[in-house]
Chains A and B, each alone.
Chain A
Amino acid sequence: MKAGSNLERVLEAGHFAVTAELGPPKSADAKVIHDKAETLKGNCDAVNITDNQTAMVRMSSIAAGTIALQHGLDPVIQMTCRDRNRICMQSDLLGAYALGVRNVLCLSGDHQRFGNHPQAKNVYDVDSMQLIRMVKNMRDEKKFQCGEAIKVEPRFFIGAAANPFADPFEFRPIRLGKKVAAGADFAQTQLVYNVEKFINFMEIVRKMGIHEKIYILPGVGPIKSGKAAEMMATTVPGLEVPDEIVQRMKKAEDPKAEGISICLEIIDRVRQIPGVAGIHIMAIEWEKAVPDIVQRAGLLPRPVIEVVEEPQEPPAQKPA
């Protein structure tokens, strides 16, 4: 066990894992997190807490993750390379671990051009690959990036992102392989709507033997409306929504129900792909849809893994 997080235990035990996204609010309102946490509780093995997603200022992922912990959830804090340099990243990792966080997902981060502070200066001292390696070295070598020793090391289960739908396609499996080499333990992908392309991607991944070294969780998510489907298909770089899905969403009488049906169909298909270890549900600002999806996908109840303590010295026998 590398970090002993619930997510790691579930995956190690060979269960098909379910993670879900929990987006922190654009405010200091803790209640939003409490409510979303209650919704997700029992419906997933870990929750991803986004880190100022799309470069919008939101509540800190570590702070929100700590609130999720209070509800018994296992947070995966996302950490982007956009806003912090290596000093701040390592400091935040120490802090997150001290607060009980055991999973981190290492990301490049959306460029600030997309967010609500496009005039900000970005950092990119470290890229996502280098962040993965840094977190691994902190855990396994017990060393800071500069080489100095860490007395009590933060032990994280290390996540990476993968996007099979961005270009160049041929490089995508290679990039995932690099992330494994850098030290990633699990990968969550961009939302899968083009299942065919994802199947191709996984085929290459298997040929390269990457799936044996990393747990791969494709991203899935329900679309709310025809308009949202169109927006996603045309305005989000690196997200592919086939026209067939856009049309289904536009024609649907009850778009929300249709969005969930499509999501369930996709889950059904990706589950059958060899090398897929679970799913990552991104119901962005629609966390309430998650329990329904998980239940209808037949993924409930979520496994409860006994935490086996390290074997200790047997107590001295009492004399008879």
Chain B
Amino acid sequence: MIIAEQKTLEEIKQIVAGYNKLLVVGCGTCVTVCFAGGEKEVGILASELRMARQMDGQQLETVERTIQRQCEWEFVDQLKDAIEDCDAILSMGCGVGVQGLAERFPTKVVLPALNTKGMALTVQEGLWAERCAGCGNCVLDKFGGVCPIARCSKSLQNGPCGGSVNGKCEIDPEIDCGWQLVYDRMKAINMLDKLYEVQEIKDWSTARDGGPRRINREDLRL
């Protein structure tokens, strides 16, 4: 799933300053699961913003809506009726959702309420951690199902750097060393010898470095 975190109220207040009628839009998928931008968060944020505006002696009107996904036209289109008389849309979706709304409503101001972090796993309740960096050419088969691109702070592909200690990464004792995890997994599945091979330089052209990615399935297009 995609994980995101709400910006500080202070920052959101500044972002919406000058707009008097806001459509606050939640998203019912990833950001609902990570408690950042679902229906409940929409309600809380909208009332916080109204209150803050009131404290400044001004008025803010909010319309609250949550759609199943902000990244699919089918759901985005459900907002059409609510758009007209709003000055701006405050999206509580991930970065993709914000842009989905902006593309669908080209004459409307669309503002982000969240900071999108990446693709992650719910490790346990309340803890999400990045697992994939979307490099566009998955090599998990070579690393026992642990991604060195996303989980090693230096995206090393040939083993741990000299800062790996007690299973933790040199940059932060809270962060697991991705390479210790690779090593442990490869050992557990009896494939340590695979790690003896020198991994050749990676082709990053399939990653963001090669420009914005897209997938075009002619067979599926209308």
Q: Which A positions have Cβ atoms within 8 angstroms of B?
A: 81-82, 86, 108-111, 113-114, 122, 124-130, 133-134, 145, 161-163, 165-168, 171, 174-175, 177-178, 181-182, 190, 237-238
Contacts and interface: CB of A to CB of B under 8 A. Distances in A.
Pick from B157, B165, B183, B196 the residue with the most CB of A within 10 Å: B165
Interface stretch (B25-33, B167-175, B212-220): B167-175
Nearest to A174: B196
A238 B195 contact: no
B160 A237 contact: no
B208 to A, nearest CB: 12
- Chain B, interface size category, equals 20 to 34
Contact of B165 (A113, A128, A166, A178): A166
Contacts of B160: 166-168, 171, 175
Among B156, B161, B180, the one with the most A-chain Cβ atoms within 10 Å of its Cβ is B161
Interface core residue of A126, A161, A165 (most chain B CB under 10 Å) = A126
B51 to A, nearest CB: 33
Contacts, number: 103
Given A175-B160, A238-B161, 11 more contacts: A113-B153, A145-B201, A162-B162, A163-B161, A166-B160, A168-B160, A174-B195, A182-B158, A237-B165, A238-B164, A238-B170
A126 to B, nearest CB: 6
A213 to B, nearest CB: 14
Given A129-B199, A130-B200, A167 B154 contact: no
A113 B171 contact: yes
Nearest to B166: A167
B177 A177 contact: no
A166 B162 contact: yes
Contacts of B161: 108, 128, 163, 166, 238
B201 A122 contact: no
A125 B156 contact: no
B158 A237 contact: no
B163 interface: yes
Contacts of A145: 201
B188 interface: no
A108 B154 contact: yes
Contact of B201 (A82, A86, A166): A86
5 contacts: A111-B171, A113-B153, A166-B165, A178-B159, A190-B162
B163 A82 contact: no
A208 to B, nearest CB: 11
Nearest to B204: A125
B154 A168 contact: no
B75 to A, nearest CB: 34
Given A125-B204, A177-B196, A178-B158, A168 B153 contact: no
Contact of A124 (B155, B164, B170): B155
A22 B22 CA distance: 60
B165 to A, nearest CB: 5
A161 B201 contact: no
B172 A171 contact: no
Interface string B129-158: 000000000000000000000000111111
B17 interface: no
B198 interface: yes
Contacts of B168: 237
Contact of B159 (A110, A122, A171, A190): A171
Given A133-B198, A178-B198, A238 B165 contact: yes
A166 B154 contact: no
Nearest to B161: A108
Contacts of B183: 168, 171
Given A167-B177, A171-B183, A171-B195, A111 B156 contact: no
Counting chain B CB atoms within 10 Å of each CB, which of A126, A129, A166, A238 scores highest? A166
A111 to B, nearest CB: 5
Contact of A168 (B170, B180, B198, B201): B180
A292 B202 CA distance: 46
A26 B159 CA distance: 31
Contacts of A238: 161-165, 170
Nearest to B157: A127
Contacts of B157: 127, 129-130
Contacts of A162: 162
Contact of A81 (B154, B171, B198, B204): B154
Contacts of A122: 154
Pairs A-B, 7 closest by C-beta atoms: A163-B162, A129-B158, A237-B170, A237-B163, A238-B162, A113-B171, A108-B161
